[in-house]
Structure 1
Amino acid sequence: MEQPAVVIDPTREPIVVVDGLHIVYRVYGAGGEKGSAATALMRVVRRQNRPQMNEIHAVRGVSFVAYRGDAIGLIGTNGSGKSTLLKAIAGLLPPAGGGVYTDGQPSLLGVSAALMRDLSGERNIVLGCLAMGLTPQQTREKYDEIVEFADLKPGFIQYPMSTYSSGMGARLRFAIAAARTHDVLLIDEALATGDAKFKRRSKAKIEELRRDAGAVFLVAHNLDVIEETCNRVIWLDDGQIRMDGDPAEVIAAYTEATSK
């Protein structure tokens, strides 16, 4: 499926341009004869069988433009390239072809975003805010807002993050990321583990971020969250754009195709 060339709407302000983007992973494996892990290790040690390199073409010639104020949902089955595309927009993966151009600094928020598990939630708020460029004074001003938004159980803000459930950790990461205005905010599954109350607050916060700054990209398997939060949806299939447009239309087409 050949992807269309990128076309920019002159009446709107582009903030992310993805132009003919290709992302290729190189995976190394022992290859050759089958056997136990010990046998494979001995073959490598004896240089009897050099590791083979396989290429995985995760994103294939993707092109689109995101405009200031967009909230774009990325949907697709597992392995369709959603998270890879987010990492490429964030500048974490080098293109094998094409390119990504952004007006401002993209910030990637994922469920596995790196906070210090051995430190308390309180210390992680401070470190996270400072890492995003907030001053110590701004961090102190935002602290209570972050704690309230994360809605942790009483006292848990003083506990190490290693004691948090996945939902508590996801809420705190989102609360920290949402404490400042981002040029481009990339959210990978961060809302998937929240309850209905948290999803409502997250939706309101994303709308606020859209009003105050650039664009928001959201990856979530919960299609209801995507439809309620985004003004546009891109459906990825085997690393290519299958459909791009109105959330209700794209989600309906995706649901029909994947339910067969």
Structure 2
Amino acid sequence: MADTPIPTPTVIADEVHVVYKVHGGGTRKGGATAALSRIFSRKPAPGIHEVHAVKGVSFTAYKGEAIGLIGSNGSGKSTLLAAIAGLQPVARGRIFSQGRPSLLGVNAALMNDLTGERNVVLGGLAMGMSREQIKERYQDIVDFSGINEKGDFISLPMRTYSSGMGARLRFSIAAAKDHDVLMIDEALATGDAAFQRRSQARIEELRERAGTVFLVSHGINTVRETCDRALWLESGTLRMDGPSSEVCAAYESFTRR
């Protein structure tokens, strides 16, 4: 009897806490003496509030998994992804990852004043593709996004795009490259049914090539259909981790109360 292969971890989160500061509208009083006092006492300045967005979250992700992150608004899903991608510092705990995790969000930075064509090039370069690779995959990226189905939008500045068109182009650029870890923040919620089917098929391809996909979505059915595992975050804590069907059912029961 052959030995069962040992799954390879791609992301390990070990008791991760994320705390960030929110600047309010308060005014600073007391001048230099008060400022020095705050520094030595380690108290935040007036009008600055600390938000404990992620509280002691631990999990291990493995190659070939598609993991959905679900939870109420403000539960810490996007913050956790940003921490895994190295875009948000961790206050306590540790995150280990294989390779360089790629975070794709609806608000991922592309240049609104540049054409879609130029953004495909810049986005591909930012992900580590060579110009030759971008040239080879350019038409596939445009066709996958579907933004040229009703006109030559790829030649227009991105500021002329709808939010859905911009999100589809961002996903298409990211999906043109294989990733050890790809994190998608609400990108699948912005397309029509045909685009969502193409996106789900592409996620399956990434998984088959030994990648790991994280998907944040408010669409519970999208998580059910796309992911085999789900993490449920609530108020910054990991409430449940397991098969997506079971976690989604528990979350739906919670929201109906």
What is the TM-score of this pair, normalised by structure 1?
0.88
Measure the CA separation in 1 of the matches of 2:155 and 2:132.
Answer: 20
Shift in Å, 1:130:
1.4
Shift in Å, 1:27:
2.2
Measure the CA separation in 2 of the matches of 1:194 and 1:133.
Answer: 26
The correspondence of residues 20-31 of structure 1 with structure 2, limited to 5 A, is 20-31=15-26
3-state DSSP of counterpart to 1:15: strand
Shift in Å, 1:154:
2.0
Which residue of structure 2 lines up, in the alignment, with residue 36 of structure 1?
A: none
Residue of 127, 135, 158 corresponding to 1:140: 135
Letter in structure 1 aligned against 2:86: G
Residue of 175, 188, 194 corresponding to 2:172: 175
Unaligned runs of 5+ in 1: 1-8, 32-42
1:207 aligns with 2:207: no
3-state DSSP of counterpart to 1:192: helix
Query: In terms of mean alpha carbon deviation, does 49-58 or 174-183 score higher?
Result: 49-58
Which residue of structure 1 lines up, in the alignment, with residue 91 of structure 2?
A: 96
Measure the CA separation in 2 of the matches of 1:128 and 1:92.
Answer: 17
Which residue of structure 2 lines up, in the alignment, with residue 80 of structure 1?
A: 75
Residue of 151, 156, 161 corresponding to 2:158: 161
Residue of 59, 63, 85 corresponding to 2:58: 63
Unaligned runs of 5+ in 2: 36-44
Shift in Å, 1:96:
0.8
Letter in structure 2 aligned against 1:70: E
C-alpha distance 72-16 of structure 1, shift in aligned 2 (>3 A): same
Q: Deviations over 1:153-181 (max 9, x none)?
A: 32111111000011111110000000110
Measure the CA separation in 2 of the matches of 1:99 and 1:183.
Answer: 19
Shift in Å, 1:131:
1.4
Measure the CA separation in 2 of the matches of 1:154 and 1:212.
Answer: 34
1:230 aligns with 2:224: no
Structure 1 residue ranges (4+ consecutive) displaced by more than 3 angstroms after TM superposition: 43-50
Residue of 86, 91, 105 corresponding to 1:110: 105
Which residue of structure 1 lines up, in the alignment, with residue 251 of structure 2?
A: 254
1:130 aligns with 2:130: no
Shift in Å, 1:193:
1.0
3-state DSSP of counterpart to 1:199: helix
3-state DSSP of counterpart to 1:108: strand
Contact 1:30–1:44 (CA under 8 A) maintained in structure 2 = no
Residue of 237, 242, 256 corresponding to 1:240: 237
Measure the CA separation in 2 of the matches of 1:215 and 1:182.
Answer: 8
3-state DSSP of counterpart to 2:102: strand
What is the TM-score of this pair, normalised by structure 2?
0.89
Letter in structure 2 aligned against 1:69: G
1:51 aligns with 2:46: yes
Measure the CA separation in 2 of the matches of 1:241 and 1:255.
Answer: 16
Letter in structure 1 aligned against 2:69: L
Which residue of structure 2 lines up, in the alignment, with residue 5 of structure 1?
A: none
Question: Alignment identity in percent?
Answer: 60
Shift in Å, 1:29:
2.8
Which residue of structure 1 lines up, in the alignment, with residue 216 of structure 2?
A: 219
Q: State the Cα RMSD in Å.
A: 1.8
Which residue of structure 1 lines up, in the alignment, with residue 13 of structure 2?
A: 18
Letter in structure 2 aligned against 1:99: R
Aligned length: 241
